[in-house]
Amino acid sequence: MSAPRIRPATISDIDALDAIETAVFPADRISRRSFRTLIDRPTAETIVIEAEGQIRGYAMILFRAGAALARLYSLAVAPGQAGKGYGRALLTAAESAAMEHDRILLRLEVREDNATAIALYKTASYRRIGRVPDYYADGMAALRFEKLLRGPEAPAARTPFYEQSTDFTCGSACLLMALARFRSPAFLDPVWEIRLWREATTVFMLSGPGGCEPFGLAMVAREHGLDPEVWCSTTEMLFLETVRDPEKRRVMELAQTDFRARVAAARTPVHIEAFTLDWLRARLAEGHVVIILVSGYLMMGKKVPHWVLAHGDDGRHIFVHDPWVEDEVGETVADAANIPVPHAVFDRIARFGRTGLRAAVLIKGNVPDV
């Protein structure tokens, strides 16, 4: 009997993969079309284990662009093949694939009633990091696990995560997370998300509803009991470089003029300079969090300004909560919360537009009485 062989999946394996998927999972299956897409996708890797000329199982890993994080999207062993070590071999291969892609964390979700898989992950030193009720189609909860594959221990995420519920509320979602950290978890609510967006929006963006800019975010943060500072690399009005409609420009300028006047009236500190990576790491070490403008193109392939919340640093990575979860490509909160981003990568993506705009809102941990 030949030893099992692990190799990358190919398109010719889809029939076997689909058969395993259908036999193992009664619902929430990966479709044939999705197998085909994911096998070819550069941000995914599918591996199979073969024995006696037959595919006995597979593992699929997803990689988020710019992050030192991977997710075990699926792992399955064909019926009748339990107890042969195939699951453990696939898990080890998935960890190796993650490390080959320079990832330091591997995360996964598993059905709460899947005792066999949970035992496998615990034996392999995965730690439970959360529970999501009503996650699967039949109402079963999911347990979230992660494993640190190398390097220093990942910092604990003391800041709660919040997923933005619209395409344009990343700024207010980051502000909600800061409010939940320093004021109350009660802020983690879509009503508050929209309310804070309405208070901080620039009214218009390049297309669609308006987004947030640093002065508006700082103004709203102050009004809701936080202690903010603005860091911005220019005195110019923001996000106007590609706005052609003169009326749109005028309204955006008026909104930003109002934000700046109110920030000044509240004596919120404003620094007209580009923040540095060293400055960011020092602020995080002091227990603060920072809402930071990043390139949406480099983070998610869209040429839009995007806000993330930096909340930790392990000496090699900035840990961020990205409120944008790309559901259409199979992402979950496990892909967007507490993401480790290598220092050099973060320094590159923390800017926007042709001018390389740097903008951030520091939220201090020493919240004043209100």
The answer to whether residues 314 and 153 touch, using CB atoms and an 8 Å cutoff, is yes
The answer to whether residues 21 and 30 touch, using CB atoms and an 8 Å cutoff, is yes
pLDDT score recorded for residue 370: 38
Phi and psi for 311 in degrees, rounded to 5?
-140, 0
Give the DSSP H/E element, type plus range, for residue 318. Answer: strand 317-321
Give the residue from 317, 318, 315, 335 showing the smallest Cα distance to 326. 335
Helix (H, G, I), strand (E, B) or coil at 233: coil
What is the location of CATH 3.40.630.30 in the chain? 5-148
Give the residue from 236, 233, 235 showing the smallest Cα distance to 273. 233
Distance from C-alpha of 24 to C-alpha of 321, rounded to nearest angstrom = 33
Residues of the chain below pLDDT 70: 1-2, 152, 204-208, 297-303, 367-370
What is the location of CATH 3.90.70.10 in the chain? 170-363
Distance from C-alpha of 281 to C-alpha of 275, rounded to nearest angstrom = 11
State pTM to two decimals.
0.86
Distance from C-alpha of 157 to C-alpha of 228, rounded to nearest angstrom = 20
- Bridging pattern class, strands 305-313 and 69-77: unpaired
| Architecture in CATH of 170-363 | Alpha-Beta Complex (3.90)
For residue 194 the two structure tokens come to: 């929209």
* Count of beta carbons in the 10 Å neighbourhood of residue 348: 14
234: Cβ contacts below 8 Å, ≥ 6 apart: 272, 355, 357
According to CATH, the superfamily of the domain at 5-148 is Gcn5-related N-acetyltransferase (GNAT) (3.40.630.30)
pLDDT digit string (tens) for 356-366?
999 999 999 87
pLDDT score recorded for residue 261: 97
Phi and psi for 181 in degrees, rounded to 5?
-70, -45
* Count of beta carbons in the 10 Å neighbourhood of residue 92: 14
Crossing angle of helices 214-223 and 246-265, in 10° steps, is: 40
pLDDT score recorded for residue 299: 64
Specify which residues 360 forms β-bridges with.
Answer: 231, 292
Q: DSSP secondary-structure letter at 43?
A: T
Specify which residues 345 forms β-bridges with.
Answer: none
Q: Which residue has the tokens 């860091």?
A: 231
Largest CA distance in the chain: 79
Q: Which residue has the tokens 């509803």?
A: 209
Q: Which residue has the tokens 């996650």?
A: 135
